């Protein structure tokens, strides 16, 4: 049997290699690549690669991506490997593919500005990303032969931000936009901050190469800073205060200094919230995101909701699958150790995204997508809704109780009841188990048993569930807490505890690691809250040591079913390292804190009649 299996694998690999080679030959033979410098209204020229079908018997639509990550490979005879992507299906339908280096990046002229604010009152030659998109589309429509006058824009992550801004351009040829995991608000929930806590590991690994200024067009960027360590927990802990990271970064990266200069959610940050421009949006919108996206779990949910409320006439839809960052373009049968029993990415590609573009760009039949097309982990099924959160969702309180218990709907009745732990910045709670350097994407569904064993993590559980409980929408953490210092962070984790005898069906595709799933504590959702922002992100406030305060914040939306026989767990801790920077637990500007400022704090979480800490769950009826 083993020989047959190996032989089958050999033929399968050979088949796909042959098919891929055939696709590459077809693409090169049927497309012409043209490189252009497209002028913007202020005279700056943006480098653009255009892949045009050689077929002149019909008219073709544009699919455009604007990126700060380079539209390489450069050179008219060097083709992007479209044949490695499912978008080959669009190529065979005759799309014109456009890739553009945004202003000030790689081969484009001008000055780059991170998450450049939208200017709804532009005058004359004033520009923003929306106007740059407008000018690029206008040039393409008038200078590309055999186009059908229809354009779509898409992109993932930072290109997702540029897709959002494209939707605000107002160009009449732009009929469809799909921002995917779009950068949206770098203070509240994407990439570099969550609820004001600085995501130091992602930021410091990204900006040494990305943030280096390039005054002239270039095909390459610097490689960045490298720690002499394979252990990120140890390396970041030894580096210490944020001041020390600033010294390592140096003075050449403007945005790093901006991060330090704007510790609160001030006007500078508010202008860089992409949701502020989502009014009167004309194109059809398809927001795409991953339930388990470590980089941009916030953007798709919240841009969709902003468009719903601020631009109600927009044809506005959202897709959320059980994916890490960009996984919808790759294998989608599992995420880390968790399996889904189907290739969710393939379903998205063939049944949602491609039909969406083909309808608006080629006049193919309407695919009939619902407002919200959401995959529910746990149950492992796609569901369709005419709004999100769904109409039949009720908020139900999950109360913290004595003896590490959770109660759904029944509030505590005792007096002066609390649990406590000591948060020590010298020994922070790691965000995941194991030794590694790069931030893992799998931590979003990782087993939390490692954290349950720490004395500075509180764990509360329900009894074994007598029936399924499905959550659909944002989760609210509402803690009543006191601390012995003037500041602290709070992390709440929502966890699905699997039965001790649990295992997946043998034919469900996984990551091949055979991880023991009996008793698995699957992270469903977690979020951090920097305590000093509990009342205002604009005006932080110190805690009064020993005084009970409410700390309430929203976790990103959940679409998950806790199956009968499972248990719900809540974990509470005050560090999540080195995912988030260490809080010195002293009320101050943390970006200017010294190593000597860091101190222990005793954290008390109350659960009595007068102070009922709870987690508010969006339960689907």
Domain that holds residue 564: 393-620
Last residue of a domain, one of 249, 270, 291: 270
Could you tell me if 211 and 161 lie in one domain?
A: no
Could you tell me if 582 and 545 lie in one domain?
A: yes
Q: Does residue 142 fall inside a structural domain?
A: yes
Question: Counting every residue, how long is the chain?
Answer: 621
pLDDT of residue 88: 96
CATH code of the domain covering residue 505: 2.60.120.260
pLDDT of residue 135: 98
Q: Does residue 188 fall inside a structural domain?
A: no
Alpha carbons 477 and 490: distance in angstroms, whole number: 10
CB 526 within 8 A of CB 494: yes
Last residue of a domain, one of 180, 203, 232: 180
**Lowest mean pLDDT segment, chosen from 215-219, 381-385, 477-481:** 215-219
Could you tell me if 151 and 262 lie in one domain?
A: no
Count structural domains, the chain: 3
SS3 (DSSP) at 590: helix
Alpha carbons 559 and 565: distance in angstroms, whole number: 19
Q: Do the bridges between strand 334-335 and strand 338-339 make them parallel or antiparallel, or are there none, so unpaired?
A: antiparallel
- Would you say residue 2 has pLDDT above 70? no
Could you tell me if 199 and 102 lie in one domain?
A: no
pLDDT of residue 5: 53
Ramachandran angles phi, psi of 596, nearest 5° = -70, -10
pLDDT of residue 297: 95
Alpha carbons 387 and 133: distance in angstroms, whole number: 30
* Mean of pLDDT over the chain: 95
How do residues 310-358 score in pLDDT, each as one tens digit? 999 999 999 999 999 999 999 999 999 999 999 999 999 999 999 999 9
Alpha carbons 606 and 616: distance in angstroms, whole number: 16
CA angle centred on 455, ends 454 and 456, rounded to 5°: 90
Could you tell me if 615 and 488 lie in one domain?
A: yes
DSSP string across 419-441: EEEEE-TTSPPBSSSS--SSPPS
CB 162 within 8 A of CB 133: yes
Q: Does residue 454 fall inside a structural domain?
A: yes
Could you tell me if 176 and 211 lie in one domain?
A: no
How do residues 104-136 score in pLDDT, each as one tens digit? 999 999 999 999 999 999 999 999 999 999 999
Could you tell me if 470 and 495 lie in one domain?
A: yes
Could you tell me if 155 and 237 lie in one domain?
A: no
- Residue holding tokens 């492992």? 380
CATH code of the domain covering residue 90: 3.40.50.1820
pLDDT of residue 215: 84
Could you tell me if 210 and 263 lie in one domain?
A: yes
Could you tell me if 139 and 202 lie in one domain?
A: no
Strand partners, 418: 606
How do residues 55-70 score in pLDDT, each as one tens digit? 999 999 999 999 999 9
How do residues 502-528 score in pLDDT, each as one tens digit? 999 999 999 999 999 999 999 999 999
SS3 (DSSP) at 34: strand
Question: Helical H runs in 387-527?
Answer: 449-452
pLDDT of residue 212: 86
Please give the share of the chain, as a percent, with pLDDT higher than 90.
92
Strand partners, 153: 64, 177
pLDDT of residue 18: 55
Q: Does residue 65 fall inside a structural domain?
A: yes
Q: Does residue 246 fall inside a structural domain?
A: yes
- Would you say residue 540 has pLDDT above 60? yes
How do residues 148-164 score in pLDDT, each as one tens digit? 999 999 999 999 999 99
Which helix or strand (DSSP H or E) is residue 497 part of? strand 489-497
CATH code of the domain covering residue 262: 1.10.3020.10
Alpha carbons 477 and 291: distance in angstroms, whole number: 18
Q: Does residue 289 fall inside a structural domain?
A: no
pLDDT of residue 227: 84
Q: Does residue 227 fall inside a structural domain?
A: yes
Q: Does residue 13 fall inside a structural domain?
A: no
Could you tell me if 170 and 252 lie in one domain?
A: no
pLDDT of residue 220: 86
| Residue 21 binned pLDDT confidence (cut-offs 50, 70, 90) | confident
pLDDT of residue 224: 72
The angle, 0 to 180 degrees and rounded to 10, between the axes of the packed helices 129-143 and 158-166 is 70
Last residue of a domain, one of 270, 294, 309: 270
What distances in angstroms separate CA 474 from CA 301, 420, 505, 554, one per listed residue? 10, 27, 30, 7
Query: Token pair of 159, please?
Result: 């290109």
pLDDT of residue 20: 64
CB 166 within 8 A of CB 130: yes
Q: Do the bridges between strand 193-194 and strand 174-180 make them parallel or antiparallel, or are there none, so unpaired?
A: unpaired
Could you tell me if 578 and 433 lie in one domain?
A: yes
Query: Token pair of 86, please?
Result: 């499912």
């Amino acid at each position: 049997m083993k020989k047959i299996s190996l032989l089958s694998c050999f033929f399968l690999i050979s088949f796909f290699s042959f098919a891929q080679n055939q696709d590459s030959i077809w693409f090169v033979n049927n497309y012409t690549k043209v490189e252009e410098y497209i002028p913007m209204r202020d005279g700056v020229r943006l480098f653009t690669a255009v892949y045009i079908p050689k077929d002149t018997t019909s008219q073709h639509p544009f699919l455009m991506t604007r990126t700060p990550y380079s539209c390489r490979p450069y050179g008219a005879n060097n083709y992007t490997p479209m044949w490695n992507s499912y978008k080959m299906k669009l190529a065979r339908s005759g799309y014109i593919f456009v890739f553009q280096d945004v202003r000030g990046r790689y081969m484009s002229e001008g000055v780059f500005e991170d998450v450049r604010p939208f200017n709804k009152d532009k005058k004359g030659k004033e520009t923003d990303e929306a106007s740059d998109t407008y000018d690029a589309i206008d040039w393409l429509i008038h200078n590309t032969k055999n186009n059908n006058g229809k354009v779509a824009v898409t992109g993932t992550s930072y290109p997702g931000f540029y897709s959002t801004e494209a939707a605000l351009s107002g160009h009449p040829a732009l009929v469809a936009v799909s921002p995917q995991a779009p950068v949206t608000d770098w203070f509240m929930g994407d990439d570099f901050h969550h609820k004001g806590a600085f995501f130091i590991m992602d930021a410091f690994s990204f900006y040494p190469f990305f943030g280096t200024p390039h005054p002239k067009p270039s095909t390459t960027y610097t490689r960045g800073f490298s720690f002499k360590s394979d252990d990120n927990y140890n390396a970041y802990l030894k580096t210490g205060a944020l001041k020390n990271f600033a010294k390592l970064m140096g003075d050449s990266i403007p945005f790093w200094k901006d991060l330090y200069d704007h510790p609160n959610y001030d006007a500078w940050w508010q202008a860089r919230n992409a949701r502020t421009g989502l009014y009167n949006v004309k194109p059809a919108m398809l927001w795409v995101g991953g339930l388990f996206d470590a980089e941009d779990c916030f953007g798709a949910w919240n841009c969709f909701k902003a468009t719903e409320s601020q631009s109600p006439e927009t044809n506005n839809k959202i897709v959320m699958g059980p994916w890490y960052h960009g996984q919808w373009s790759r294998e989608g049968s599992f995420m880390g150790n968790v399996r889904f029993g189907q290739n969710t990415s393939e379903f998205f590609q063939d049944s949602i995204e491609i039909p969406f573009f083909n309808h608006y760009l080629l006049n193919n039949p309407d695919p009939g997508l619902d407002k919200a097309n959401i995959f529910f982990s746990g149950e492992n099924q796609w569901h369709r809704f005419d709004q999100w959160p769904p109409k039949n969702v009720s908020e139900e309180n999950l109360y913290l109780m004595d003896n590490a218990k959770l109660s759904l709907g029944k509030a505590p009745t005792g007096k002066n009841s609390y649990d406590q732990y000591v948060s020590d910045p010298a020994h922070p709670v790691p965000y995941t188990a194991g030794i590694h350097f790069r931030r893992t994407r799998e931590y979003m569904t990782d087993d939390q048993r490692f954290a349950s064993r720490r004395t500075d993590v509180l764990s509360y559980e329900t009894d074994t569930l007598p029936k399924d409980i499905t959550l659909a929408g944002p989760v609210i953490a509402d803690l009543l807490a006191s601390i012995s210092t003037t500041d602290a962070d709070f992390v709440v984790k929502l966890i699905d505890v699997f039965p001790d005898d649990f295992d997946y069906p043998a034919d469900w595709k996984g990551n091949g690691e055979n991880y023991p799933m009996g008793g698995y504590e699957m992270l469903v959702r977690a979020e951090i809250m920097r305590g000093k922002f509990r009342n205002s992100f604009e005006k932080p406030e110190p805690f009064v040591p020993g005084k009970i305060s409410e700390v309430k914040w929203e976790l990103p939306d959940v679409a998950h079913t806790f199956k009968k026989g499972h248990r719900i767990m809540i974990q509470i801790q005050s560090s999540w390292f080195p995912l988030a920077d260490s809080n010195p637990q002293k009320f101050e500007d943390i970006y200017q804190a010294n190593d000597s400022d860091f101190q222990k704090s005793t954290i008390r979480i109350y659960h009595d009649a007068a102070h009922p800490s709870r987690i508010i769950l969006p339960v689907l009826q």
